[in-house]
Structure 1
Amino acid sequence: MSKLLAWPRPSAAMPGVDDATLLTATLAHWQTGQGRLVDGRACRAAASCLVEPGAGDLALLVDADDLWVVAVLVASGSRPLQLAAPHVALEAESARIEVAALETRGRRWSAVHDELQATAGTLTVCVGAVHGVVTRLSTWVRDAFAWRGRSIRDVEEVETVRCGQFDVAARDLLALSAHTGIVTARGLMKIDGEQITVG
């Protein structure tokens, strides 16, 4: 353990604070915000220590009656660095994150944006339920394939389908009902069945 510098005693504007000393030391044990140094002394993480320390790390500490870990200087082993704080708020004019792989986990995720753009080569989503309220939805899809165990659609006003070919096949029952119905064909119209009843 080596002392780096000693802070001067604060003025009367900061009563109750004794002389503080900066030092470096190796952590022998660490768990949930507190641990012990190799010499057996206990220490705690300061609010400024955003990187979660671990056993074997070389840390920068402040000795002010209690030992406070203010930063991790050298992390032991090859474990990923973990940011630990009860609440974190980031404010910036602009920010950019570039990583090879990104994984997020949480109980709840909220995002509020005036405009959101996302581009992905492949998107795989597995969710239990989706609920959404959309004022207007416009999509362009080259190929669309869907499998549904049950599908219910309710359109209050007008639904229009325009396509080159329209093929509907029902395994059991096909029912079409309307107050007024019109079926027209420019060429041949064929109705075929074992039994046909009109009226």
Structure 2
Amino acid sequence: MSRREDPLMQWCSQPMQATGTVDAPAHEADLYAVRTAQGSFAARRAASCLLEPQPGDRVWVAGDLEQGLYITAILARDAAAPVHLRLPPGSSLGTTAGALSLQADSLQLVSRQLSVQVESAVLCAQTVTGVGREATWSFGRVKLICDLLESFADRLVQFSRWSQRTVDGIDQVRSKQIDYRADQTMQLQAANFMADASNLVKLDGEQIHLG
């Protein structure tokens, strides 16, 4: 008797479709224990079933016992149970035309590496908070408009080939020590200029002109 003539093997190769309940999560080879009216079977998650099965889910099972059974859809789940979409490696989500929108009361992205490539980007937020160890920005031009800018740093280092700053009101610097050095010329000009020192005022140069 050939293998295909065995009644048991013929029964195992018959297509099977049924509803069942997931009893246990996957442990090995992505197998799930599914309880049906015909008994309990081990089933894999079908490639088209993006929703990861959870214990207690009402699922649709299809396939055969010889080649294996597959969970093709999640039919029902407790409303309070979490939902997890699990995609295979190298997956992508996109549309060939139009816009793609993600909407949620709270959106969280968790990744070891995040890359964003766009021609233009717009960010509108009431509050933005960033926490990290190191940040590097490379822009051809940066324009910042705000009502209040506060910066706190243990150490601030800036390098530029050319710098210009215009302050309409008061420009005030308070420091324990201030050191201004110019390789060529330093100019201080004002309608009223006052220099005050508690202990010492020193002017040193080859020529000193007053008046």
Query: TM-score with structure 2 length normalisation?
Result: 0.57
Summarize the Cα distance change of 1:4–1:83 in structure 2 as closer, same or farther, 3 Å threshold: farther
Distance 2:169 2:16 in 1: 76
* Partner in structure 2 of residue 189 of structure 1: 201
1:116 equivalent in alignment to 2:128: yes
Q: Give the residue type in structure 1 aligned to 2:146.
A: V
Report the number of matched residues. 130
Q: Give the residue type in structure 2 aligned to 1:177.
A: Q
Q: Deviations for 1:37-88, whole angstroms, at most 9, x for unmatched residues? A: xxxxxxxxxxxxxxxxxxxxxxx9xxxxxxxxxxxxx97xx6x212121311
2:185 maps to which of 142, 155, 173: 173
Q: Give the residue type in structure 1 aligned to 2:135.
A: L
* Partner in structure 1 of residue 42 of structure 2: none
1:84 equivalent in alignment to 2:118: no
Q: Which has the larger radius of gyration?
A: 2
2:165 maps to which of 137, 153, 171: 153
Equivalent residues in 2 for 1:1-150 (5 A)? 80-85=90-95, 86=97, 87-150=99-162
Cα-Cα RMSD: 2.5
Task: Give % identity.
Answer: 22
Distance 1:98 1:84 in 2: 19
1:164 equivalent in alignment to 2:161: no
Distance 2:16 2:91 in 1: 25
Q: Using the TM superposition, give the Cα deviation of residue 4 of structure 1 relative to its aligned residue in structure 2, in angstroms.
A: 10
Structure 1 residue ranges without an equivalent (≥5): 6-23, 25-59, 61-73
Q: Using the TM superposition, give the Cα deviation of residue 120 of structure 1 relative to its aligned residue in structure 2, in angstroms.
A: 1.1
Query: TM-score with structure 1 length normalisation?
Result: 0.60
Distance 1:155 1:4 in 2: 79
Q: Deviations for 1:136-178, whole angstroms, at most 9, x for unmatched residues? A: 0011111011111000111111000000111111111111010
Structure 2 residue ranges without an equivalent (≥5): 1-14, 18-45, 47-71, 73-86
Q: Using the TM superposition, give the Cα deviation of residue 197 of structure 1 relative to its aligned residue in structure 2, in angstroms.
A: 0.9
Q: Give the residue type in structure 1 aligned to 2:137.
A: V
Distance 2:133 2:173 in 1: 29
Distance 1:4 1:116 in 2: 54
